[in-house]
Structure 1
Amino acid sequence: MNKLLKVLAASALVATVLVGCGKKGEDTGAAAEGAKYAKAGLGVVSSYSDGQVNSTIAAVGLDADGKVQYIDIDVAQSTPGGDAEKTKTKKELKEEYGMKGVSPIGKEWYEQAQFFEQFCKGKTADEIAGIETEKRDEEHTTVPKSGSDLAAGCTMDIGEFKEAVAKAIANAQDANADKIGVGEVMANDGEAKQLDTTIALVATDADGKVVYSKIDVAQINEKTTDTKSERKEDYGMKGVSGIGKEWYEQAIAFEEYCKGKTADEIAKTETEKRDEEHTTVPKTGSDLAAGCTMDIGAFLEAVAEAFTNAQ
């Protein structure tokens, strides 16, 4: 069973138990007391150097006071030139990433990222921006200050973490959500020396229905480090679109389509093959096809993963 089918199956199961079954010790009575997250936001910061791409992804959920109550940090990293087999983010790689052996605190990348996440919880944008850092060497110029509480569990460079979190908070939209999750789908193009990372943030109510979502693609190469949504008209899809819509406009149409739907309902979105390069486009004549005619295969996979990761 491939990754998409596994994730879709798991997300369907999650949809049936989303109410009344907590995760990682969360309070399952939150829905009765009101939604946990007033706003949800996504931020992506990418860099390109010597054929390698790094896309740092931050998803946040804020309470009514603007304090971070949910946070997920991850990095989609390609190898120089792009390795088609490399489809896991740093957090998904876990021990395979190999940082523990060279870490001064003996912690793997995902463990240090999780420590940073916990450190940020309960803090505002200004408090996170004010986290003290120092230069360790020419390659690590923004590491947690020695002797600080954060440095006890995270000694890797957090410059792009802080930047992505700041962007996510600035991008945050009203959600009134009970759970938030994020999913990423990576695709390396060695010939183009490009990494495409499809990112889905999903915020749901107590019934597991989408109240807010954000879809974006970090298509990063030596020419651009902006996401497709950030490029807006500069992306250049409108002129070749059958419905005269730019990429970000079609992504918004997909987001609107997802509102009020469960994981299972989104997974069952009808698609069809248009040509060899577009094998998962919205079915002709469907409500979704009225506003989105681009391939949504990676969207569906990332959304399904976001549901399984929701907390």
Structure 2
Amino acid sequence: MKKSLSIFLSTILAVGMLAGCSPKEAPKDNAGKEAPAGEATIAKIGLGHVTSIGKSKELGTDKNGKEVLPVGQVDETIVAAAFDKDGKVVSVTIDTAQTKVDFEKDLKLKSDITAPIKTKVELGEEYGMKKVSKIEKEWNEQIVALEEWMKGKTVDEIKGMKVTKRDESHVAVPDVEELKSSVTITVEGYLAALEKAYANAVDVKEGAVKLGLGTEVSIGKSKGLGTDKNGKEVLPAAHVNTTMSATAFDKDGKVVDTVIDTAQTEVKFSKEGKLTTDKNGEFKTKTELGEEYGMKKVSKIGKEWFEQIDELEKWMSGKTIDEIKGMKVTKRDDAHPAVPDVEELKSTVTMTVQDYIAVVEEAHSKAK
């Protein structure tokens, strides 16, 4: 009897040990291979943006009779996001370039068009939200809290966030328990840019572990009222170029894939200082413009901007930042000081590339 009981207990113990040692099915990455337990795998990356010139001002007076000078203001909200195979956010970075070009009463340029332009993230404490914030948090701190809340959720779940209207300037403040003490900014633009990032998302190759956002902003082509070298009248215009990239990197810091785009936004004025650009107009990036951008008709290789940037993105894939920065370039003219001079790109990329390299480098430095 004792011997039978001993055999029975031994059998139960053995079965239990086998069950305890059976491994759980490991999560799969987008290539079908096993990913580290607990880690979501990047399957897609996307770049989204929302452009607004709604805060631009024309020459005139305010409701108190105070003089208002012309301002061309371009607010560019940018999102770089990585998603898993189920469409859930793995990594997300949000930023806004709030770029102003000021004019004098005589419509000459007031802003220094050579000065560097910082985004809200880059401004950090300089942005100055903390001193007026009820929760005493700066913009960059609040946006990090929002990004963390988004992780692990689908775009539909994020869009379904409960919000509340605080005032006319804050029409969609988060009304969810997790964010009440950390986010008091209005978030509709950030959600819209994330939705665009998902809609534009591209599949990435195996091995992406980090995603970064890079930006480069310039107002160098802005103009005040005057005449050109031929005596032709030049009307005032704020010209804001925002180049951006969402770039995925592997564990060795090599580019797995990158999406690069440029928002080239103009705010135009008449010689009387009145706005001639529709504040509610649609503003497309170079990629969104596609054939409308019009590079092909002046291109020696007969390729549109979006076709050329696609070739540059492919060339970057598999390379380190140092290898990309080390690209041999040549100066074609003053407007094209850094055209690729590498055999693989000579027949596919004839535009200047220094800003595109710069935003991928910044994406690498900020990747997470």
Please tell me whether Structure 1 or Structure 2 has the larger radius of gyration of its CA atoms: 2
- Paired position in structure 2 for 1:266: 324
Give the distance between the partners of 2:179 and 2:122, measured in 1 at CA: 22
Q: Which one has a larger percent helix, Structure 1 or Structure 2?
A: 1
- Give the deviation of 1:86 after TM superposition: 4.3
The correspondence for 2:213, drawn from 182, 201, 214, is: 182
Give the distance between the partners of 1:86 and 1:204, measured in 2 at CA: 27
- Do the aligned residues in 2 keep the contact of 1:48 with 1:225 (CA within 8 Å)? no
The correspondence for 2:78, drawn from 47, 57, 63, is: 57
The correspondence for 1:77, drawn from 73, 88, 98, is: 98
**Is 1:39 aligned to residue 29 of structure 2?**
no
TM-aligned CA distance change 1:250 to 1:139, over 3 Å: same
- Paired position in structure 2 for 1:292: 349
Deviates more, 1:195-204 or 1:219-228: 219-228
Give SS of 2:219's match: strand
- Paired position in structure 2 for 1:167: 196
**Is 1:114 aligned to residue 144 of structure 2?**
yes
**Is 1:130 aligned to residue 188 of structure 2?**
no
- Do the aligned residues in 2 keep the contact of 1:31 with 1:206 (CA within 8 Å)? no
- Give the deviation of 1:141 after TM superposition: 1.4
Give the distance between the partners of 1:156 and 1:95, measured in 2 at CA: 16
Matched letter for residue 125 of structure 1: V
Deviations 1:169-205 (A, max 9, x none): 1211212311211111111143230211111221122
Map 1:1-311; keep pairs closer than 5 Å: 36-49=41-54, 50=56, 51-81=72-102, 84=113, 85-145=115-175, 148-175=177-204, 176=206, 177-189=208-220, 190-191=222-223, 192-222=237-267, 225-283=283-341, 286-311=343-368
Query: What are the ranges of 5 or more consecutive residues in structure 2 without an aligned counterpart?
Result: 1-33, 57-71, 103-110, 224-236, 268-276
Give the distance between the partners of 1:35 and 1:281, measured in 2 at CA: 38
- Paired position in structure 1 for 2:66: none
RMSD, aligned CA: 1.9
Matched letter for residue 340 of structure 2: P
Give SS of 2:303's match: coil
Give the distance between the partners of 2:91 and 2:36, measured in 1 at CA: 19
Give SS of 1:193's match: strand
- Give the deviation of 1:266 after TM superposition: 0.6
Give the distance between the partners of 1:83 and 1:64, measured in 2 at CA: 46
Deviations 1:137-177 (A, max 9, x none): 222212222x6322321111111000001111121121231
- Do the aligned residues in 1 keep the contact of 2:101 with 2:219 (CA within 8 Å)? no
Give the distance between the partners of 2:40 and 2:130, measured in 1 at CA: 38
- Give the deviation of 1:32 after TM superposition: 6.0
Give the distance between the partners of 1:46 and 1:195, measured in 2 at CA: 11
Matched letter for residue 105 of structure 1: I
- Give the deviation of 1:229 after TM superposition: 0.5
Matched letter for residue 167 of structure 1: K
- Do the aligned residues in 1 keep the contact of 2:79 with 2:213 (CA within 8 Å)? no
- Do the aligned residues in 2 keep the contact of 1:78 with 1:86 (CA within 8 Å)? no
- Paired position in structure 2 for 1:24: none
Give SS of 1:74's match: strand
- Give the deviation of 1:257 after TM superposition: 0.8
Matched letter for residue 178 of structure 2: D
Return the TM-score normalized by structure 2.
Answer: 0.72
- Give the deviation of 1:220 after TM superposition: 1.6
How many aligned positions are there? 280
Give the distance between the partners of 1:154 and 1:294, measured in 2 at CA: 41
- Paired position in structure 1 for 2:274: none
Query: What are the ranges of 5 or more consecutive residues in structure 1 without an aligned counterpart?
Result: 1-29
User: Percent identity, aligned pairs only?
Assistant: 44
